[in-house]
Structure 1
Amino acid sequence: MLQLLEESKGDLVAFRISGHVDKNDYDVMLPVLKEKIKQYGKINVYAEMQEVEDFTLKALWEDLKFDFRHAGDFKKAALVGEQKWLDWLTIAASPFTSAKVKHFTLDQRQQALDWVQSPEL
C-alpha cells in the first residue's frame, strides 16, 4: 500500500510504503509525482518503508519506467526504513540520477524530513 503523507507540501512528495504494493498503488501515486514535477520542475521525495511484504512485478515495472523517464526531475530523495537493501538501493541509484539520495532509519524520520526539505547549499 502507498499512502501520501500530510508532509507533502510545495515541492516535497512524502509517502509511506507498507504491506503489499501493486500496480494500483502506482496508478494513484505516479500522477501526484507527475503533477508536482510539472508544477515545480524538480522535486524532493520522502519515502518511508514499513513492513513491506512485496511488490508485484507490474508495480516494480511502473516504478522503473517512471524513474528512468524522470531521473533528472528529482533534487533529493530520503529513503527511510530499516531494510538493509535500502543502503544498496541508495548506492545503486547514484549513477542513474542527479538527485542526492540518502538512507535513514525509521527512528531518524524527522532528520530525514529536515534533510530532504533543506535548501541546497
Structure 2
Amino acid sequence: MLSILPSRYDDTIAVEFSGKAIKEDAEKLEQNVQQRFNDHTHFNILAVMQDLDGSTFQGMVHGLKFDAKRWSQFNKFAVISEKNWLKNAAQLGNILPGIKSKHFTKDQVEEAWDWIKD
C-alpha cells in the first residue's frame, strides 16, 4: 500500500510503502505527479519502505510504466529502510543515467531530507 506523506519541499514527493505494491499504488503516485508537476519538471522522491510483501504482477507492470514515463524527470531518490536488499537496490539506482539514489536507515530521516535538499 502506498501513502502520500507531507513533503518538506515543493520538488519532492514523500511516500510510504507497506505491504504489497498493487496497481492502485502506481496509479496514486502517477496522479500525484500529474497534479504537482508538468511532464518536464524534475522531481525527487523520498520513500519510506516499511514491511514489504512484494508486488502483485499488475502492481509491478504499472510501476514499470510509471518509471518509464517519468524516467527523465527523476532527480533524486532517497530510500529509508532497514532492509539490506533495498540498500543494494538504492545503490543500483546510481548507475542509471540522470538519477541519484541513496539509502538511509530509519534513524537517518533528517539526513535523507538534507540530501534531497542539496
TM over 0.5: yes
Partner residue in 1 for 2:30:
30
Partner residue in 1 for 2:114:
114
Whether the aligned pair in 2 keeps the contact of 1:36 and 1:43 (CA below 8 Å) is no
1:20-47: CA deviation from partner (whole Å, max 9, x where unpaired): 2211122111111233341771001101
Moved over 6 A (4+): none
Q: Secondary structure of 1:96's partner?
A: coil
User: Identity rate of aligned residues, in percent?
Assistant: 29
How far apart are 1:73 and its partner, in Å?
A: 0.6
1:75 to 2:80 alignment: no
Q: How many residues align?
A: 118
Q: Which range is displaced more, 97-106 or 86-95?
A: 86-95
1:48-67: CA deviation from partner (whole Å, max 9, x where unpaired): 10111221111111111221
How far apart are 1:74 and its partner, in Å?
A: 1.4
Distance 1:54 1:75 in 2: 25
Partner residue in 2 for 1:90:
90
Distance 1:97 1:79 in 2: 18
Q: Secondary structure of 2:112's partner?
A: helix
Distance 1:96 1:64 in 2: 15
Whether the aligned pair in 1 keeps the contact of 2:81 and 2:87 (CA below 8 Å) is no
Q: Secondary structure of 1:38's partner?
A: coil
Under a length normalisation based on structure 2, what TM-score does the superposition of the two structures give?
0.87
Q: Secondary structure of 2:26's partner?
A: helix
List aligned pairs for 1:49-68, cutoff 5 A. 49-68=49-68
RMSD (Å), alpha carbons: 1.9
Whether the aligned pair in 1 keeps the contact of 2:93 and 2:99 (CA below 8 Å) is no
**Runs of 5+ consecutive residues of structure 2 not aligned to the other structure:** none
Under a length normalisation based on structure 1, what TM-score does the superposition of the two structures give?
0.85
**Runs of 5+ consecutive residues of structure 1 not aligned to the other structure:** none
